[in-house]
Amino acid sequence: MSTSSNQSSNRRRPSWGSFTAFLLAAIGSSIGLGNVWKFPYELGVHGGTFSYVYVACVLLVAFPLIIAELLIGRVGQGNPVASIRTIAKEERKSGLWEIIGWLGIITSFLIFSFYSVVAGWTLFYIMKSLSGAFVNVPAEIVQNSFGALLRNADQQIIWHSVYVLLVVMVLSQGVRSGIERAVRILMPVFIGFVIWLAMYASEVGDFQSAYDFMTQFDLDKITAELMVSALSQALFSLSIGIGILIMYGSYLSESRPLFLGAGIIMVFDTAIALLMGFIILSIVFAFGMQHDTGPGLIFETLPVAFAQMTANGIWWSSAFFFLLFVAALTSGFALLEHSIALLSSRWGISRRTAAWIVGASAWALGWISIYSLSEPTFSFYYFGEERVRGYFDLFNILSTHVLLPLTALLIALFSGWRMSKTSAREALAIRPALAHRIWMLCIRFVAPSIIAIVLLLVLFFPA
């Protein structure tokens, strides 16, 4: 392709209105249910040792990969498939590397199919909270409401549909009019609710117990399952391995610093994850609830705590689940954005049409998870634990424990060993030079080694 045609193509590409808009969107894609729902329950199950392993995975694996994905997007100037194909062609490498982009898109699509179901639960709980259903009610009834929801396929389909509809309506409007406008509103709202919840937890929570729990390190608790969960959580919470940061990086002006942006995303995301774990556990301990209930921690345990409040329980409960829903929305935009961009650019259909096609497909796939929850179909053992939620558990494990690490490993190998050092250094503009050498060391050796070990554990030691 000629230089002039490349420039013409670049001019037609969407772009962020500002560096702040990019940061809000990228942080929004990261700070989703992974941080507010998944991290606290993983922490509750595994104990404080999990937080140490998680932070190590963020620093040694996730952060170098954030930089790598943004770099690929900046150099390739396209969706994940097109960006990697363009770079491979310019570097005279095999065109098969574009499979990375396809894997990322498939992974994000699969994640969205069950993620949207969980997001639907948050909408259900917002309505229940506003109705006062959790106030002055015995704990057993409050806890049983979650199981009743899982058995009610019709109820789940309704809220699943509402969530998908809202995500598609925003994405159909484009980058600036849709995603950028939405995150400029939603992210400040999210941060405000986090501060509000922290203030509440400071009044009623057991901070000392939460602190002791989160900071306790026990070497004997570092098991194969914990290592897999910690790395998967780091990749999942920072949107690594699904291609969205490649997409968002391609929308970013070449004058904007990638290294700085990656650092802000990492710090903000990790801080929110740790803060949410601290807030939720302090509430759980204060009200004598169980901290190791797994995925149901947010939906079975916290409503009981809110129900025990004598004043403003309705508003605190509603605000908390609204916070969850906002987090789910911003991540939902990211999970479908590159599928829409690929469909639009590859087959020449309008963005609006592409958004509805992708959204309808993800919505239909979500039904499989819903019915596997309401009518258990099969179970299996994974790292010694029986998983009884059928396709919901299967999609979760396949996407977050297999496909995410696999895609992340390929991205590390491609950016570290197949992209030109010179072009990478120029595009990243990392100063000082030592920082660039450290990044190269991590992306070439450290990150691939850790990911490879985790993949081996998943593939050969899950039972």
Chain segment 296-322, per-residue pLDDT in tens: 788 877 787 777 665 677 887 888 888
The predicted model gives 53-70 an average pLDDT of 96
Residue 136, C-beta contacts closer than 8 angstroms, at least 6 positions apart: 307
Range 224-228 average pLDDT: 93
Mean pLDDT (the chain) is: 88
Reading phi first (left if > 0) and then psi (alpha if -120 to 50, else beta), residue 295 is in: alpha
Q: Among 393, 273, 321, 284, which residue's Cα sits nearest to residue 145? A: 321
Which residue(s) pair with 380 in the sheet? Answer: 387
- pLDDT score at 439: 93
Confidence class of residue 1 from pLDDT cuts 50, 70 and 90?
Answer: very low
- 25 versus 450: the higher-pLDDT residue is 450
For position 9, what pLDDT does the model report?
44
Residue 93 has pLDDT above 70, yes or no: yes
Note the pLDDT of residue 158. 97
Q: Give the other-Cβ count within 10 Å of 110's Cβ.
A: 20
pLDDT band at 3 (very low <50, low <70, confident <90, very high): very low
- Residue bearing tokens 């259909």: 349
pLDDT, mean of residues 320-326: 88
Q: What is the pTM of this model?
A: 0.91
Span 358-380, pLDDT tens digits: 999 999 999 999 999 988 788 98
Flag whether pLDDT at 427 surpasses 80: no
- C-alpha 339/C-alpha 358 separation (Å) is 7
Mean pLDDT to the nearest integer, 173-184: 86
- In this predicted structure, the answer to whether residue 165 has a pLDDT above a threshold of 60 is yes
Encode burial over 57-91: b for 16+ CB neighbours within 10 A, e otherwise: bbebbbbbbbbbbbbbbbbbbbbbbbbbbbbbeee
pLDDT at 433 over 50: yes
How many CB atoms are located within 10 Å of the residue 375 CB? 10
pLDDT at position 377 is 81
Q: Are 210 and 281 in contact (CB under 8 A)?
A: yes
Q: What is the DSSP string of 363-399?
A: HHHHHHHHHHHHS----EEETTEEE-SHHHHHHHHII
Residue 30 has a pLDDT of: 82
Task: Pick the more confident residue, 363 or 202.
Answer: 363
Predicted pLDDT of residue 40: 92
Domains of the chain: 16-460 (1.10.4160)
